[in-house]
Structures are given as C-alpha cells and as structure tokens.
Amino acid sequence: MGGIWVVGEVDGDGALTKLSCEAATASRLLGEAAMLDVRGVVVAAEPDAAAASMTAFLPVVIAVRAPEALERPAAAVVAARVAALAGAAAEPPAYVVVGATPDGRDLAGALAALLGVGILVGATGLAWADAADGLPAGPRVEMQPFGGRVVTTSAFTGERGIILLRPNMVAAEPLAALGRVEAAATQEIVDPAPVRVVERVVTQSTGPAIEDARVIVAGGRGVGGPDGFSGLADLAGLLGGAVGATRAAVDAGWVDYAIQIGQTGKTVKPAVYLAFGVSGAIQHKVGMQTSEIIVAVNRDPDAPIGEFADLFVVADLAAVVPALASALRARAG
C-alpha cells in the first residue's frame, strides 16, 4: 500500500515551521507502527532550506520548486503540486499529514477535492491499529472537539485520508542520521483558479506562532489596557513563552487579533497556561482548556476559571505580575 506523506509548511523566511517538524516526527512514529514508508514533501518558490531541515526528521524529503508560489497564496499552489506528485507516483500516498495551520487547512481542503479523499481535522493523538470491526488497518486519530469537552477517536473508513495535526501534540525528535533530499519536478498540474498576491503588508514581527508556544501568558479584561500587557510580555520572555489574550482585550484594541485565544480565535495546548485577569467564560475556555497546566490569577474569587484551573490565585494581577517577574529573575540570577 502507499505510504505516508508529510507536507512541510514553509514560513515567510523560507524556513520549515516548528509544527512541520512535529508532524514529521509523529508521522515517522506512525509509519514505524504501520510498517509504511514515510516521506516529506516541501513545495515552495525556494524549497531547499526547508527540505534540508526536514531531513533531520525523515529519511527522504521531496523538494518541489514552484516559482508561482511567490505571487500566489501558498496553499492552492502546494495542493496542486502535491496532487500532481501523487498522481505521477508509482505508489500514491495512502495518508497525507499536514499541520493544522490556516494554510494547512486550506491545503487539506484543496487536496481532499483534488484527490477525492476524506479529512480528519485537529488530531491531538495518532496511533496505528490493525484491521478490526469491518475497518481496515489504519490510523486511529484522537481529537478533542467542542472545545475539549469530549475526547474522540476516529478512523478513515477506507485506506486513504488526510490528517490535520495540532501543534504541541508531540515533541519534534530528530533522527540519528540525516535523511536525503530528492528534487522532483511535477507535470500535469491542475492549475488552481488564479489568486494574485498584490502586496504583502508587514505590521508586526514574525514571532513564534502562539499555537506553537510551550508557555502562554494570557491576559483578559482585568489587565486593563495595553500597558498591562507589557508586564505580561515581560513574564512571557522570562518563561520562554508567548503572550495570549482573550477576546475582550482584542475588542478593546489592546492587542492584535493574532493572539486571541478562544472560540473565534486560536486553540492552544501549551504545557503551561498562565491567565491573568481572565474570567474563564466559555468562549475563551474552549480555546485553552486542554492546556497541561493552568494557573489563573484573578481578583474575583467567583471567576469561572477558578473551577478548572490547577492553581487559582485570588489576588490583584497588577501586583502579582511584577512580583512574579522578580521571583523568576531571582531564580535565574
């Protein structure tokens, strides 16, 4: 049967994303259990650097040069090339694994249409199972829909599928020895309907994506304003993490939508979630409640977050934030 392909995502600087390294690791482990060949695929205007990085995690990485990716949104370009590769391959892939980023979702949707296969979205766990109960041998995918209120296991009914993998599901683990890059050209590409990138506007530094962060320091309405968020940024820096926010802080204009966590923002699963002035209402909770450790600081003893945090400190965050920063500095220094 066909093997597993992992499509690597390339960031604005041409580098392989952290999530792609995790996806490569998870796929490699799956392939070992399934006894299936696993290879990486990188499609970009300049794929070499990212493909080389991916060889730390997979024995073979196929690099496809797609110059049209400079002026088009990446996902449709990548999908067309991957579908062409799959169509031309001696053994088309059984499973394609993609990181669940905005581009990854676009890629998965397009690829599903081009290949005529189903998608399992938002995998937080990946295992292999033998044929049983009328299902073929295949991946068993764990997901946590409804904001993590339930944990499900799903499978493909056939022997093919696309899997979208969430960040922080597995730690990226390099191989003992580097793999190799194979350049490939693709023919017979079904050209996606054209979308032109007219302009790329940079308004903020490309820090690590909040979904990738191991530690998130989040602020809500209680932070009171943009100044309060610089205190949180300080803490995040000391902990090697990222700053997050609730919808209230974004709507108030204190921070950018890119770091909004919750129902209409990002879903995150960091190792540590430190929430300051966050009430823990359902719209926010569904974006972060599967974090491994949740610590909340809030003046309101009845704040809903107190019901599901691991540690709940009833105190004024304005005093605790600088005190915590001092305590962390003292430990380091």
- Binding status of residue 328 toward another protein by CB under 8 A: yes
| Cβ atoms 172, 25 nearer than 8 A | yes
- Which of 55/290 has CB closer to another protein? 290
Strand duo 119-129 + 138-143: pairing: antiparallel
Distance, CA of 40 to CA of 319 (rounded, Å) = 49
- Which of 76/84 has CB closer to another protein? 76
Residue 96's identity, in one-letter code, is V
Which of 90, 176, 187, 204 touches another protein (CB under 8 A)? 204
Footprint (CB under 8 A) of another protein, residues 15-54: none
- Which of 146/188 has CB closer to another protein? 146
| Cβ atoms 232, 243 nearer than 8 A | yes
- Binding status of residue 202 toward another protein by CB under 8 A: yes
Neighbours of 251 (CB within 10 A): 12
Q: Please enumerate, as own/partner, the contacts of 128-137 that have beta carbons within 8 Å and a separation of 24 or more.
A: 128/30, 128/33, 128/34, 129/155, 137/34
- Which of 5/156 has CB closer to another protein? 156
State how far the alpha carbon of 306 is from the alpha carbons of 34, 147, 234, 261, in Å. 43, 18, 24, 18
Three-class secondary structure of residue 127 per DSSP:
strand
DSSP assignment letter at 302:
T
| Stretch binding another protein (CB under 8 A), from 27-35, 36-44, 205-213, 226-234 | 205-213
| Stretch binding another protein (CB under 8 A), from 26-34, 53-61, 187-195, 216-224 | 187-195
Distance, CA of 114 to CA of 83 (rounded, Å) = 6
Size of the site for another protein (CB under 8 A): 102
In the complex, the smallest distance separating the C-beta of residue 281 from another protein, rounded to whole angstroms, is 10
Footprint (CB under 8 A) of another protein, residues 281-300: 282-283, 286, 290, 292-295, 297
| Cβ atoms 309, 275 nearer than 8 A | yes
Which of 177, 200, 253, 333 touches another protein (CB under 8 A)? 200
Residue 271's identity, in one-letter code, is A
| Stretch binding another protein (CB under 8 A), from 61-69, 84-92, 175-183, 303-311 | 303-311
Footprint (CB under 8 A) of another protein, residues 89-148: 100, 102, 105-110, 112-114, 116-122, 135, 140, 143-148
- Binding status of residue 194 toward another protein by CB under 8 A: yes
Which of 25, 196, 268, 280 touches another protein (CB under 8 A)? 196
In angstroms and rounded to an integer, the radius of gyration of the C-alpha atoms of the chain is 21
Distance, CA of 37 to CA of 39 (rounded, Å) = 7
- Binding status of residue 333 toward another protein by CB under 8 A: no
| Cβ atoms 56, 20 nearer than 8 A | no
- Binding status of residue 253 toward another protein by CB under 8 A: no
- Which of 39/284 has CB closer to another protein? 284
Which of 38, 75, 84, 236 touches another protein (CB under 8 A)? 75
In the complex, the smallest distance separating the C-beta of residue 214 from another protein, rounded to whole angstroms, is 9
Neighbours of 87 (CB within 10 A): 15
In the complex, the smallest distance separating the C-beta of residue 249 from another protein, rounded to whole angstroms, is 13
The two structure tokens encoding residue 256: 């950018």
Distance, CA of 135 to CA of 149 (rounded, Å) = 26
Neighbours of 59 (CB within 10 A): 16
| Stretch binding another protein (CB under 8 A), from 85-93, 158-166, 175-183, 218-226 | 158-166
In the complex, the smallest distance separating the C-beta of residue 79 from another protein, rounded to whole angstroms, is 7
Which of 79, 181, 223, 242 touches another protein (CB under 8 A)? 79
